[in-house]
Amino acid sequence: MINAKEVHFAVVRGVSGNYDQCIKPKGNNGRIDIQLTREQHRRYCQTLQQLGLTLLQVDADDRLPDCCFVEDTTIVAGETAIITRMQAPSRVLETAAVKKLLASYKTTREITSPGFIDGGDVLRINNKLYIGLSERTNQHAVAQVKALVADNGYEVIPVEIKGTLHLKTVCTYLGDGCVIMAPGHFDHNIFSGYRKVIVSGEEAYSANCLAVNGKVVVPGGYPRTRECIEKEGFATVEVDISEFRKGNGGLTCLSIIF
């Protein structure tokens, strides 16, 4: 079983007409094809629906090139949705529309200054929240998250990371006590109680997978990683997200699942 309980909803946000102006990885000047990006996003959303999720859609905003990476706006912990405060100046307005939508489903709380945090740094495994300390997430925000979830039975575990944008860029949960990770970015002993799939250096990007209701969604083009996941007993579904990789995004970045 992939999750302790099934998930039912996925918040997704459309692709900005200015997505080609998003925050790109350092040294990556690859041309972004917005039409192809939107087609890949459509297929991603279709996959989530096929896996049993109801989509909650937020319109794209052309003022916000990175707005499709909706995961960074929110941390869901039980019945609480913690609205983040993003460090990147071009992204601070992304949270408003998502907060408005989630207010109909969850009790919303907010991270305040001097805290800043991206949802991509928060790996939820059952009642544990592993939070990566990165250029986008600081200790002040971790302390606020800890206080906000204290009454909900969640444990918050800070994780020092290096050489990566977010914790979930290099580590995600497949379910059934198994994590997938790219080596060299954090102390692996933090996950000593879990089974591990270690991806090869050339397939490091594929460490960002998305577990949904008994299946693991994997990025297209990483056959060895997919084979390793299937050897652990997980059924996989492949989705091509090459244009989102050019914008520093992965599979989990494109939805908030609960």
pLDDT in tens, 163-215: 999 999 999 999 999 999 999 999 999 999 999 999 999 999 999 999 999 99
What is the structure's pLDDT at 1? 30
d(CA 125, CA 188): 15
Q: What are phi and psi of 240, to 5 degrees?
A: -80, 120
Give the chain's residues under pLDDT 50.
Answer: 1-4
Q: Is the separation of the CB atoms in 144 and 115 below 8 Å?
A: yes
- The one catalytic residue among 166, 171, 185, 228: 166
Burial 5-42 (b: 16+ CB within 10 A, else e): eebebbbbbbbbebbbebebeeeeeeebeeeebbebbe
How far, CA to CA in Å, does 43 sit from each of 6, 31, 35, 131, 198?
22, 21, 13, 29, 27
Largest CA distance in the chain: 46
> What CATH homologous superfamily does 9-257 map to?
L-arginine/glycine Amidinotransferase; Chain A (3.75.10.10)
Number of H helices, E strands in the chain: 6, 15
What is the structure's pLDDT at 29? 66
What is the structure's pLDDT at 4? 44
* Catalytic (active site) residue 41: no
* Catalytic (active site) residue 166: yes
